Structure 1
Amino acid sequence: MRFDNLYSHDFARVAVGVPQCRVADPAFNAEKTIALLRQAAADGVAVMAFPELGLSAYSCDDLFHQRALLDGCEAALAQVLAATQTLPLVAIVGMPLRVEQRLFNCAVVLLRGRILGVVPKTFLPNYSEFYEARQFGSGEEATVDSVTLLGQQVPFGSRQVFSAEDMPLLRLHVEICEDVWTPIPPSSFAALAGATVLVNLSASNIVVGKAAYRRQLVSQQSARCLAAYVYSSAGAGESTTDLAWDGQALICENGELLAESERFVRDSHVVTADVDLERLARERMRQTSFGDSVRLHAAAVGAFRQVPFELGLDRDRPLALHRRVERFPYVPADLGRRDERCQEVYNIQVQGLTQRLASSGIGKLVVGISGGLDSTHALLVAARAMDALGLPRTHIIGVTMPGFATGERTREQARRLMAAVGCEAREIDIRPSCAQMLRDIGHPHREDQPVYDVTFENVQAGERTSHLFRLANLAGGMVLGTGDLSELALGWCTYGVGDHMSHYNVNASVPKTLIQHLVRWVAETGQLGAGTDTQVLHDILDTEISPELVPGALQSTEAVVGPYALQDFNLFYTLRHGYAPSKIAFLARHAWGEAYAPAEIKRVLRIFLQRFFKGSQFKRSCVPNAPKVGSGGSLSPRGDWRAPSDSEAAVWLADLDRIPDERA
Structure 2
Amino acid sequence: MYKNGFIKVELATINQTIGRPLENAIETLKILNNSQSAIVLFPELSLSGYTAADLFYEKSFLDESLEALKEVIDKTTYKGVYIVGLPLLVDEVLFNAAIVIQDKKILGAIPKKFIPNYKEFYEKRWFQAGMFTQNKEITILGQKVLFGDMIFENSQYNVKFGVEICQDLWTTYAPSDLLALNGAHLLFNLSASTEHINKVEGRRSAVIDHSRKQISGYFYTSCGSSESTTDVVYSNHKLAAVLGEVIGEKDFFNKDETLVVDVDVDAIKHQRRVDMTYADQKIGNEKNIPFIPFTITESKTYQFEKQLDKTPFIPKNNTEYQFRLASAIQTEALKTKLRSVNNLKIVIGISGGLDSTLALLTAYKAIKELNRDPKDVIGITMPAEATSNRSKNDAVKLMEKLNITQLVIPIKKEVETHLELLNHNHEDTTYENTQARIRTMILMNTANKENAFVLGTGDMSEIALGWMTFNGDHMSMYNVNAGLPKIWVKALVEYYAENEFKDYKNILESIYNAPISPELKKEQKTEDEVGLYEINDFIMYHFLVNGKDKKQIKWLLENTFGLTNEQNDKYIERFFKRFYTQQFKRQPMPEGPKVLSISLSPRGELRLPSDIKRK
State whether structure 2 residue 48 is matched by structure 1 residue 56: yes
Where does residue 493 of structure 1 map in the other structure?
468
* Residue aligned with 1:390, SS: coil
Task: Call closer, same or farther: CA 1:475–1:18 in 2, change over 3 Å.
Answer: same
Question: Is the contact between residue 192 and residue 235 of structure 2 (CA under 8 Å) also seen in structure 1?
Answer: no
Where does residue 460 of structure 1 map in the other structure?
435
State whether structure 2 residue 34 is matched by structure 1 residue 39: yes
1:410 deviates by 1.5
Where does residue 483 of structure 2 map in the other structure?
509
Out of 330, 333, 355, the residue aligned to residue 349 of structure 1 is 330
State whether structure 2 residue 145 is matched by structure 1 residue 117: no
Out of 543, 567, 579, the residue aligned to residue 574 of structure 1 is 543
1:120 deviates by 0.7
Counterparts of 1:535 and 1:144 in 2: how far apart (Å)?
Answer: 70
Residues 489-542 of structure 1, C-alpha deviations (whole Å, 9 max, x = no match):
111100001x21001110112111111111111121134xx8x44321111112
Counterparts of 2:511 and 2:382 in 1: how far apart (Å)?
Answer: 17
TM-score using structure 1 length: 0.89
Where does residue 147 of structure 1 map in the other structure?
138
Write the mapping of 1:321-340 to structure 2, written as runs, cut at 5 A: 321-333=304-316, 337-340=318-321
Out of 250, 254, 258, the residue aligned to residue 247 of structure 2 is 258
Counterparts of 1:326 and 1:142 in 2: how far apart (Å)?
Answer: 45
Counterparts of 1:186 and 1:248 in 2: how far apart (Å)?
Answer: 21
Residues 552-609 of structure 1, C-alpha deviations (whole Å, 9 max, x = no match):
x4011110110111111111112222211222222233333x4x44543332222212
Question: Is the contact between residue 20 and residue 29 of structure 1 (CA under 8 Å) also seen in structure 2?
Answer: yes
Where does residue 66 of structure 2 map in the other structure?
74
State whether structure 2 residue 608 is matched by structure 1 residue 643: yes
Amino acid at match of 2:510: D
Counterparts of 1:265 and 1:422 in 2: how far apart (Å)?
Answer: 53
Where does residue 165 of structure 1 map in the other structure?
155
Counterparts of 2:539 and 2:507 in 1: how far apart (Å)?
Answer: 31
Where does residue 658 of structure 1 map in the other structure?
none
Task: Call closer, same or farther: CA 1:347–1:560 in 2, change over 3 Å.
Answer: same
* Residue aligned with 1:60, SS: helix
State whether structure 2 residue 196 is matched by structure 1 residue 192: no
State whether structure 2 residue 301 is matched by structure 1 residue 318: yes
Out of 361, 377, 382, the residue aligned to residue 380 of structure 1 is 361
1:229 deviates by 1.2
Where does residue 293 of structure 2 map in the other structure?
308
Counterparts of 2:90 and 2:592 in 1: how far apart (Å)?
Answer: 63
Where does residue 432 of structure 1 map in the other structure?
413
State whether structure 2 residue 596 is matched by structure 1 residue 630: yes
Give 5+ residue unaligned stretches, structure 2.
Answer: none
Counterparts of 2:106 and 2:434 in 1: how far apart (Å)?
Answer: 73
Task: Call closer, same or farther: CA 1:234–1:333 in 2, change over 3 Å.
Answer: closer
Write the mapping of 1:8-23 to structure 2, written as runs, cut at 5 A: 8-23=3-18
Amino acid at match of 2:577: Q
Counterparts of 2:609 and 2:114 in 1: how far apart (Å)?
Answer: 51
Amino acid at match of 1:101: E
Out of 608, 611, 629, the residue aligned to residue 578 of structure 2 is 611
State whether structure 2 residue 227 is matched by structure 1 residue 238: yes
Amino acid at match of 2:45: L
Out of 492, 513, 520, the residue aligned to residue 494 of structure 2 is 520
| Equivalent residues, number | 615
Where does residue 423 of structure 2 map in the other structure?
442
Residues 155-197 of structure 1, C-alpha deviations (whole Å, 9 max, x = no match):
101x2101113331x2111111111111111001110011111
Amino acid at match of 1:523: A
Question: Is the contact between residue 355 and residue 458 of structure 2 (CA under 8 Å) also seen in structure 1?
Answer: yes
Counterparts of 1:239 and 1:15 in 2: how far apart (Å)?
Answer: 25
Counterparts of 1:606 and 1:555 in 2: how far apart (Å)?
Answer: 22
Question: Is the contact between residue 228 and residue 253 of structure 1 (CA under 8 Å) also seen in structure 2?
Answer: yes
Give 5+ residue unaligned stretches, structure 1.
Answer: 1-5, 446-450, 651-664
Out of 398, 406, 412, the residue aligned to residue 417 of structure 1 is 398
1:211 deviates by 2.4
State whether structure 2 residue 508 is matched by structure 1 residue 537: yes
Question: Is the contact between residue 226 and residue 284 of structure 1 (CA under 8 Å) also seen in structure 2?
Answer: yes
1:359 deviates by 0.8
Where does residue 656 of structure 1 map in the other structure?
none
Where does residue 529 of structure 2 map in the other structure?
560
Counterparts of 1:182 and 1:395 in 2: how far apart (Å)?
Answer: 56
Please identify runs of 4+ aligned residues in structure 1 that moved more than 4 A.
none
Counterparts of 1:547 and 1:540 in 2: how far apart (Å)?
Answer: 13
Question: Is the contact between residue 332 and residue 338 of structure 1 (CA under 8 Å) also seen in structure 2?
Answer: yes
Counterparts of 1:264 and 1:471 in 2: how far apart (Å)?
Answer: 62
Question: Is the contact between residue 3 and residue 302 of structure 2 (CA under 8 Å) also seen in structure 1?
Answer: no
Question: Is the contact between residue 494 and residue 508 of structure 2 (CA under 8 Å) also seen in structure 1?
Answer: yes
Question: Is the contact between residue 362 and residue 478 of structure 1 (CA under 8 Å) also seen in structure 2?
Answer: no
Counterparts of 2:346 and 2:128 in 1: how far apart (Å)?
Answer: 71
Question: Is the contact between residue 90 and residue 138 of structure 2 (CA under 8 Å) also seen in structure 1?
Answer: yes
* Residue aligned with 1:534, SS: helix
Question: Is the contact between residue 398 and residue 504 of structure 2 (CA under 8 Å) also seen in structure 1?
Answer: no
Task: Call closer, same or farther: CA 1:185–1:557 in 2, change over 3 Å.
Answer: same
Task: Call closer, same or farther: CA 1:624–1:143 in 2, change over 3 Å.
Answer: closer
Task: Call closer, same or farther: CA 1:88–1:522 in 2, change over 3 Å.
Answer: same
Task: Call closer, same or farther: CA 1:350–1:149 in 2, change over 3 Å.
Answer: same
Task: Call closer, same or farther: CA 1:556–1:489 in 2, change over 3 Å.
Answer: same
Question: Is the contact between residue 505 and residue 626 of structure 1 (CA under 8 Å) also seen in structure 2?
Answer: yes
Counterparts of 1:291 and 1:389 in 2: how far apart (Å)?
Answer: 44
Residues 367-420 of structure 1, C-alpha deviations (whole Å, 9 max, x = no match):
111111111111111111110111111111111111122222222222112101
Counterparts of 1:567 and 1:258 in 2: how far apart (Å)?
Answer: 23
TM-score using structure 2 length: 0.96
Task: Call closer, same or farther: CA 1:227–1:533 in 2, change over 3 Å.
Answer: closer
Where does residue 217 of structure 1 map in the other structure?
206
Question: Is the contact between residue 236 and residue 265 of structure 1 (CA under 8 Å) also seen in structure 2?
Answer: no
Amino acid at match of 1:611: R
Question: Is the contact between residue 326 and residue 333 of structure 1 (CA under 8 Å) also seen in structure 2?
Answer: no
* Residue aligned with 2:131, SS: helix
1:323 deviates by 4.2
Counterparts of 1:339 and 1:602 in 2: how far apart (Å)?
Answer: 36
Task: Call closer, same or farther: CA 1:370–1:203 in 2, change over 3 Å.
Answer: same
Counterparts of 1:386 and 1:146 in 2: how far apart (Å)?
Answer: 71
Counterparts of 2:488 and 2:358 in 1: how far apart (Å)?
Answer: 11
Please report the RMSD computed on the Cα atoms of aligned residues, expressed in angstroms. Answer: 1.8
